[in-house]
Amino acid sequence: MEAPRPRIAITVGDPAGIGPEIARKAADDPRVREVCEPLLYGPPADVAFEPGVLSPDAGQAAYDAVCRAVRDAQDGTVNGIATAPVNKMAFALAGLPWRGHTELLAHLTGSAQVAMMFWSEPLKVVLATVHVPLADVPRLLTRELLDGIITLVARELPRFGLQDPRLALAGLNPHAGEGDLLGGEEGHVLAPAVAAARARGVNIDGPFPGDTVFVRASRGEFDAVIACYHDQGLIPVKLLAFGQAVNVTLGLPIVRTSVDHGTAFDIAGRGVADPSSMIVATLLAARLASTRDAGG
């Protein structure tokens, strides 16, 4: 007997952005319907939001939809979640302390450590730090943080078909510190974290200069790169695979994927938004849900 298709919750994100449009397009796409049963999660149909207008009500509506989807994923009503983008400022206006899905999902599921990974065919990148000011990154890159992230990535990537994944850690400073000449974090924190992980049996190398490690990974030398901060990792991914990359939260007890872009208020309500990333995110959620349900 053919296994039932997984049920995937597609949250519409900020209802004043392009989320409702791309969520509907993804749910209607034949490729999506072939592999899963998509279910839209958003505000009631009779509640209207002006396209492109930032508001606390829109932020609250996006938050409420995510909460409902997570509850349904936890109780098995749905098998995974694919999220359209939320707006960080709308969350703030609504009085919500979270600045994005990753932090919110960790809170809702009680997950001690999570990581944001961007998955694409040419390049896979995991972020050690996410939505923090660049000036705070050196202080946050502790051995404890890196030990946890490296262990999490090595444990989670086999779910994606990458057994014994080959990992690389990007350096923080130019030329990976050039022997501490251009910064000491590599020698004092990053290199010891790599050495400790290798001693635990993790297949990881580095730290490597950030201006070359992503090229090496895109050419097949590494399965994934752990980047030190947000833009270090996302610039190469979006350059190589914008619209085809998927944001995946590692470390959750539920499946969650998302798009690789924001709310695009400037084109909201015009019917021209490209649903490609939402479609790819839903397809990956269905694949991960099917693998998890099969015990893989």
CB atoms within 10 A of CB 1: 3
Longest dimension (CA), the chain: 63
Question: What digits encode the pLDDT tens for the residues 120-160?
Answer: 999 999 999 998 999 999 999 999 999 999 999 999 999 88
CATH topology match: 1-111+252-296 vs 118-243: yes
Q: Smallest Cα–Cα separation from 125: which of 106, 149, 109, 147?
A: 149
How far apart are alpha carbons 79 and 16 in whole angstroms? Answer: 27
- Per residue in 88-120, pLDDT (tens digit) is 999 999 999 988 898 899 999 999 999 999 999
CATH number for domain 118-243, candidates 3.90.226.10, 3.40.640.10, 3.40.718.10, 3.40.50.2020? 3.40.718.10
Any idea which residue has 């050690």 for tokens? 128
- Provide mean pLDDT across the span 233-253: 93
Nearest residue to 279 (alpha-carbon basis) of 6, 7, 10: 10
Q: What pairs with residue 247 in β-bridges?
A: 118, 258
pLDDT digits (tens, 9 = 90+) for 9-20: 999 999 999 999
**What pLDDT shows up at residue 2?**
64
Tokens of 292: 């998890």
Residues 6+ apart with CB under 8 A from 45: none
Q: Crossing angle, helix 191-199 and helix 143-156, to 10 degrees?
A: 50
Provide the residue count of the chain.
296
Residue with tokens 């190469």: 236
Q: How far apart are CA 16 and CA 270, in angstroms?
A: 12
Q: Taking the CA atoms of the chain, what radius of gyration do you get in angstroms?
A: 19
What does the pLDDT read at residue 292?
65
- Close Cβ partners of 146 (under 8 Å, ≥ 6 residues apart): 128, 169, 189, 190, 193, 226
Six token digits for residue 10 = 């597609």
Asked if the 1-111+252-296 domain carries CATH number 3.40.50.300, the reply is no
Domain boundaries, the chain: 1-111+252-296, 118-243
pLDDT (tens digit, 9 = 90+) per residue, 201-217?
A: 999 999 999 999 999 99
